[in-house]
Amino acid sequence: RFQANLAEAACKKEGLDFVEATVSNTNEVQQVVQSLVGKVDAIYAPTDNMIASSMATVALVTTPNKIPVICGEEGMVSGGGLATYGINYYELGLQTAKMAVEILKDGKKPADMPIQYLENCDFAYNKDVADELGITIPADLIK
């Protein structure tokens, strides 16, 4: 719900209409996505295990209907979404490992350590989906 609230606030800030759709299980994904056809110009799929595991089903509906899906994380993009701008789980793992070394080797107490965040997000996109949708990704976004 947290990500949906952020998405709704961002849409309102930009003057965009926000339509929320939820699913209770993977069997509902195709029907719910199909119900959005003709009602939305794009879909934001937040980081969610159920949606992530159903991205191929989402793409079966969205791609032929020319609806781009912006995803909460990179794995969902490779599953059929168009793009994401989010954390790099590899970099997050490295940062977490460094923190673990400080605890296990250096004897630091987790309660005394500051909360750490990744400083940079990564842009990732699915070229095949972009091509099918007729969307050109600006060169300055592509590394």
* Domain residue extents for the chain: 2-87+121-135
* CB distance 84 to 96 below 8 Å: no
10-residue mean pLDDT series, the chain (143 residues): 89 94 93 97 93 95 97 92 90 94 95 90 94 95 80
Confidence (pLDDT) at 94: 93
Contacts of 87 (CB under 8 A, 6+ apart): 73, 118, 121, 122
CATH of domain 2-87+121-135: 3.40.50.2300
Confidence (pLDDT) at 55: 96
Confidence (pLDDT) at 63: 96
Name the token pair of 25: 């299980």
pTM score, two decimals?
0.82
Strand partners, 141: none
